[in-house]
Structure 1
Amino acid sequence: MPKPRYVLADKGYDTNAVVAQVEQLGAEVVIPSQKSRLCCRLIDRVRYRQRNRVERFFGRLKNFPRLATRYEKTAVSFLGFVHFFAALCWCGLLSVRPSPC
Structure 2
Amino acid sequence: MLDALNHAGIAPDKLQMVDSTVYRAHHHAAGAKGGLRKRLLAVREAASRPRSISASTAQALPMRTEITPGQDSDYTGYDMVMADNLPQPAVLVADRGYDSDKIREDIESRNALPMIPMRRNRRVRKAVDMTIYTLRNMVERCFNKLKNSRRLATRYDKTAESFLGFVDVACIRLWLRHLST
TM bracket, shorter-chain basis: 0.5 to 0.7
TM-score, normalised by the number of residues in structure 1: 0.64
Residues 1:60 and 1:2: Cα distance change in structure 2 (over 3 Å): closer
Which residue of structure 2 aligns with residue 52 of structure 1?
137
TM-score, normalised by the number of residues in structure 2: 0.38
Which residue of structure 2 aligns with residue 38 of structure 1?
123
Q: Point out where structure 1 has 5 or more consecutive residues left out of the alignment.
A: 88-101
RMSD of Structure 2 on Structure 1 (CA): 2.7
Aligned with 2:114: secondary structure? strand
**Structure with more contact order per residue of length (Cα contacts < 8 Å, sep ≥ 6):** 2
Map 1:1-101 → 2, pairs under 5 A: 2-65=87-150, 68=152, 70=166, 79=172, 81-82=173-174, 83-84=176-177
Q: How far off is 1:46 after superposition?
A: 1.1
Moved over 3 A (4+): none
Q: How far off is 1:55 after superposition?
A: 1.0
Which residue of structure 1 aligns with residue 60 of structure 2?
none
Count of paired positions:
80
Distance 1:61 1:2 in 2: 22
Aligned with 1:12: secondary structure? helix
Which residue of structure 2 aligns with residue 92 of structure 1?
none
Higher strand share: 2
Q: How far off is 1:54 after superposition?
A: 2.2
Distance 2:87 2:97 in 1: 25
Distance 1:53 1:3 in 2: 19
Percent identity over the alignment?
31
